[in-house]
A and B are shown apart, each in its own frame.
Chain A
Amino acid sequence: MELFVDPVSSAPQSSPCSQVIDACAVAWTLDRQGIRATEAECHSVAKFLRRVAPPGATDVRTRESPFLANPGERP
């Protein structure tokens, strides 16, 4: 999946990202920091994030999450 190689440049506007903390959100977040990760790594990290997420923060639309801090930038 190219999405995980370079999510910002290659992700389509109709992103497959769901509204939860998923591998896509992880890939995007890491990419914003200049960090590349494999799809498997992103899935693994997403699993970790869901485990440690504060109550109510598993949805990326919540204020606690930075994933939608700038929703327009989200792939």
Chain B
Amino acid sequence: MRDDGKAGAIRRTDARAGTACTSISTAATAHPPLTPAGLPPSIAGLRRLLRQGDLTVEQALARQRAALRQDAWHCVVEVAEAAPAVVLDVPLAATPDAAPAVMPDPSRAVVPAASMPLAGVGLAHKDIFVFGTHVPACGVGEPPAGWVPTGESTVLARLAAAGSLPLAWLGMAPYACGATAENEGGSVMRNPLDSAAAVGGSSSGSAVAVAAGLCYGALGTDTAGSVRMPAATCGLIGMKTTAGLLPDEGVVPLAPSLDTVGVLARCSADALDILAATLTRDQARILHERHAAACHSPLRLAACFVHANADFLLTPDVAAALDTFAAEMAAVPRAGINGQRELQRLADIVLHAEAATTHGTALRGALPLPRAVRHLALAGAALPPAWYADARQQRAAHREAFLRDALGEADLLLVPALPAGVPDARAVTTTSPDFQPRQLLAMFSWMPFVNYLGLPAVVLPIARDDRGRPICVQAIARPHMEGTLLAFASRVEQQRPDAFSSLTSFKQNNETCLN
């Protein structure tokens, strides 16, 4: 074994890239970069290393855990304890459909066998999942008052069955309520791309940890953009899944009919691997089939960059980047999304009403709630039930109309992610003297209606602005077309590699995530 246990001391030969990495200290030079753990930046690269025998799974995990402990971005809430050398060898054929039957006791740390699909792949997650004895702190220290978990997270159990136990729990906006990383009770999280730039929320720690290279991927939850916004601010792939695709068991809710578990990763291949491991075997097969099909046939794209609310105009740099991108992709322009304001209104009603239910115990008991959460829940409690019932009742018809009118013949609809790009943190922090409410509102102007419609969407970087911050696009698809979305992301990666790779050092490596 050639790993002496010191960060950056590993020596490997990357056969595919035809290059050799000697240490993390050389990452800033001509050598391909490594993560802060001194490991390849992609899951594929890590697998090669493990296969070659230069590193064991246990060593890989130990190095990633050590990197998470040295978190300089204030994104880590808690690092899971080091695993004892107990090898768990779960037959691949038994996962993930049979995950509950083959799951180890998650409170017992294990080292997965190298044959498992995610063995050695360090994942850390938004601190909103129940797993083993872990009770999620939800950004405030404890789950909502009155919330009783029905069991541990099925999604995390599936990842564990694929060989990836959580390495750490990551910071988030209080109770998943916030478009940024702002958290009165937590440390100020820093964007690894630019310390003055905002970090989107509410899965902010997930985005920061992945962008900083502290883990290969992270799960978050997306109720009104909470995976896509943080991903967009950190130049990552942010996948919001189809409503109901991933089980919500063991996930603290905000608004259950809008909540979806999502994946943040540095590249589409990593996102595909992680997402596949969270699915049942049949779902994973369909994901891969649709991904393969979309990789080998032209995608029909439509694009709509005009919001029905004139307050959410694109800034010139974002407009130019999106227009150029749409032209290159031969996307058919759409004048607008019919009923976009109505969709936004209905999404607002559902979000507030369901958040009121989630936090009803705290509201009635006059228990303290973070300001933004209380505001959301109070408004929901005052909503006429008939409005909520009406919003739920209209949902299917609106989805049908959107698929017919906005998507039409297209496979994907391209819309903006952040219409004004990545704002300064001070402009979207409510306690800052430089706070500009419109900039905060703009961040999620293109997000909640997707949750209301229950559709899958992915954000991905397509360019960088003159400050080096990512400019992202959002692609929306029909239900259960996550494979198509990730195939599209893969194409963009190949065409625009400079837009990807959230770590500055990773930018030097063309093979970063394209393998």
Contact = CB atoms under 8 A, between A and B. Distances in A.
Contacts of A52: 345, 348-349, 352, 383, 387
A44 interface: yes
B384 A67 contact: yes
Q: Summarize A's interface: helix, strand, loop or mixed.
A: helix
Contacts of B88: none
A64 B383 contact: no
Contacts, number: 54
B79 interface: no
B187 to A, nearest CB: 28
**Contact-residue bracket for chain B:** 10 to 19
Interface string A35-62: 1110001001110110111100100000
Contacts of B364: 33-35
Contact of A66 (B345, B348, B366, B386): B386
Given A34-B364, A48-B352, A64 B384 contact: yes
A9 to B, nearest CB: 17
Contacts of B375: 41, 44-45
B308 interface: no
A30 B384 contact: no
Contact of A45 (B349, B382, B384, B387): B382
Interface residues of A, number: 23
Contacts of B382: 26, 29-30, 45-46, 49
B109 interface: no
B487 to A, nearest CB: 37
A35 B363 contact: yes
Interface in B341-368: 345, 348-349, 352, 363-364, 366
B230 to A, nearest CB: 25
B80 interface: no
Given A52-B348, A52-B349, A45 B386 contact: no
A-B pairs with the 6 shortest C-beta distances? A48-B379, A66-B384, A45-B379, A34-B364, A35-B363, A26-B382
10 contacts: A30-B382, A33-B363, A33-B364, A34-B364, A37-B378, A44-B375, A45-B375, A51-B348, A52-B349, A57-B387
Interface of B: 345, 348-349, 352, 363-364, 366, 374-375, 378-379, 381-387, 390
